Structure 1
Amino acid sequence: MEKNKKLLLIIIGIILSLLIFILPIIFLVRVTISGVRNIASNNSKTITNSEEIEKKVEVSQNEAYVSAFSTEEVKDTKELSHIKIWVNANLFHMDAITSYTVKNIKVEGYRKGKVAIVKPGHVSNTLSSLNYIWGPYEDEMKSAEIKDSGRTITFNVVDVAHYYDEVSKVGSAMPTWGIFLKELGEFNYRKIMDSENLFESVNVLKYASVEPNDVNLSISFDVEMVFEDGTKWVKRFSAELDGAQIVENNSYSVKLSY
């Protein structure tokens, strides 16, 4: 009888120990699953404005311009190929805004290269002879100068925009910013000239052995504007970019869905 009591106590002790060990694990697993579900829900959530807020803004232009280019890293012998995407979402509004933000920028589907989101510097918007990152056109640009600004870009709101990093508080708001897929491959300019006696800039991706599947892209981002009365307008824009179009034609434009 005494042995049975001891055995029962041992079994109860083992069960309690297991419960003490297992229950926290079950709790953590449930919390983790819940967190993942919430993240997935937030990422897939459709952004909608009220009818009143929607009427405040007109999307008058919604395009992305895609083109390929190269940077000379070592004179005549090493060039790196890149893709740039100029994003143009022209938003017209007569109610004054206090902030303009591009956020949740996503670039997916590519198999080569590195993504860099580039915000313009404080450069006069009357200047047109600028390189791909709003620097002096006459300077030789290197890949290292294409620096990532992060997945959120904020523009300065002013009475009248005079610089590329500004938007006007009333009227058209169409700040230019860039998505770059950099360092897709390299080629030797001198070897191409020696073998073909011709260099064609439209072929910078082909020279670097970039295939269409390497640069099939999907892009998306949210534009958020806050008005002086505290109300907020948010719109998600997205586009699918065809790698074959980019490689074969070097440049093309695509409509942004919203």
Structure 2
Amino acid sequence: MKKTLIILIVLLVIAISLIVLYLLKGKDVLNFDKVETNDPAIEKLVTISQSNVSAFIFVTQESENDHRLHINMTPVINLTLAEKEVENFKIENFKGDSKIGEVLLIHPTSLARENEGATLLFTEISELMNNESIRSNGDSIDYVVTDTVTKYNEVAKRDSIVPSFGIVVKSIGTVDYKNILDRDKVFEGSKYLEYSGIKLGDITTSIQFDLVMEFTDGTKYTKRFAGSLDGNRFSTETVPLFELKSVE
């Protein structure tokens, strides 16, 4: 009797799990807010030729005993717009989830693209970047719409549109550089993750955001993107790439 009861409980748990997975399939796992649906005629005017994110570990040197580890993510979304012109372009409702570290939306700045290099924060390459300087200006970005794009915070009003922005998982761990150097007599920069003792599964990170284009004729296009970085990929890849999928 007891064995039968245990089997029934196990089957019930499996059934509930399957129901939950079915309900979540294709849904937004970070936020259950309703996703806006575009008019089919508007949907046809926008082609998404690329939507992915590259990620890598970077380090800020807070002190010789505190080399701080972070994850940088560079999203690339390439849109081609037919016929219409953009009046307003936004990224809204950004959300990120990671077991360790703080997931931040990095806003583009008015720094000219022609400058020789920029930091991951879209600032002058000569500017110091440390843990304190890595911060977000909020969970939405309003871009400047222009005929000719010359700055990071600008997007084109027609044809090809590629918004610049970044995502950082801040302060996922620390490494005592001086202690390791004194102990081993050598410090290998390629071993930061190993030195930190971070469990790679703990830096798995999910992100989502809405892209909103308002056109000069008063119509609007909205698309929600979501994706996930599997932290375990850093065991074999230096710069893993993952896809951003549209959430229907």
| TM bucket, shorter chain | 0.7 to 0.9
Distance in 1, matches of 2:99 and 2:235, equals: 14
Aligned-partner SS, 2:233? helix
Q: Aligned-residue CA RMSD in angstroms?
A: 1.9
Distance in 2, matches of 1:128 and 1:253, equals: 25
More helix by share: 1
1:35-60 Cα shifts (integer Å, max 9, x gaps): xxxxx9x8343432121001111101
1:183-227 Cα shifts (integer Å, max 9, x gaps): 111112222233334433343233222212211111111100011
> 1:14 maps to which residue?
none
Distance in 1, matches of 2:71 and 2:210, equals: 22
Distance in 1, matches of 2:107 and 2:235, equals: 25
> 1:52 maps to which residue?
41
Letter in 1 for 2:157: K
TM-score scaled by length of structure 2: 0.81
Alignment pair present for 1:240 and 2:216: no
Q: CA separation of 1:67/1:58 partners in 2, compared to 1, >3 Å: closer, same or farther?
A: same
Matches within 5 A, 1:1-258: 43-74=32-63, 76-94=64-82, 95-108=84-97, 110-246=98-234, 248-258=236-246
Q: Is the 8 A contact 1:69 1:204 kept in 2?
A: no
Q: CA separation of 1:198/1:250 partners in 2, compared to 1, >3 Å: closer, same or farther?
A: farther
Shift in Å, 1:128: 4.5
Aligned-partner SS, 1:125? coil
Q: Is the 8 A contact 1:203 1:250 kept in 2?
A: no
1:30-89 Cα shifts (integer Å, max 9, x gaps): xxxxxxxxxx9x834343212100111110111111111010111x32111001111111
Q: Is the 8 A contact 2:54 2:242 kept in 1?
A: yes
Distance in 2, matches of 1:60 and 1:119, equals: 23
Q: Is the 8 A contact 1:206 1:247 kept in 2?
A: no
Q: Is the 8 A contact 1:69 1:201 kept in 2?
A: no
Q: Is the 8 A contact 2:46 2:80 kept in 1?
A: yes
Q: CA separation of 1:139/1:192 partners in 2, compared to 1, >3 Å: closer, same or farther?
A: farther
1:139-162 Cα shifts (integer Å, max 9, x gaps): 431111111121111111111110
> 1:21 maps to which residue?
none
Task: From the CA coordinates, give the structure whose radius of gyration is larger.
Answer: 1
Q: Is the 8 A contact 2:111 2:124 kept in 1?
A: no
Q: Is the 8 A contact 1:54 1:233 kept in 2?
A: yes
Shift in Å, 1:245: 1.0
Residue segments in structure 1 that go unaligned for 5+ positions in a row: 1-39
1:210-257 Cα shifts (integer Å, max 9, x gaps): 212211111111100011111000011111210101355342111111
Distance in 1, matches of 2:138 and 2:238, equals: 26
Distance in 2, matches of 1:149 and 1:43, equals: 24
Aligned length: 216
Distance in 1, matches of 2:142 and 2:115, equals: 21
Q: Is the 8 A contact 1:66 1:246 kept in 2?
A: no
Q: CA separation of 1:211/1:128 partners in 2, compared to 1, >3 Å: closer, same or farther?
A: farther
Identity %: 29
1:96-142 Cα shifts (integer Å, max 9, x gaps): 1001101111112x211112211011111122422211223244311
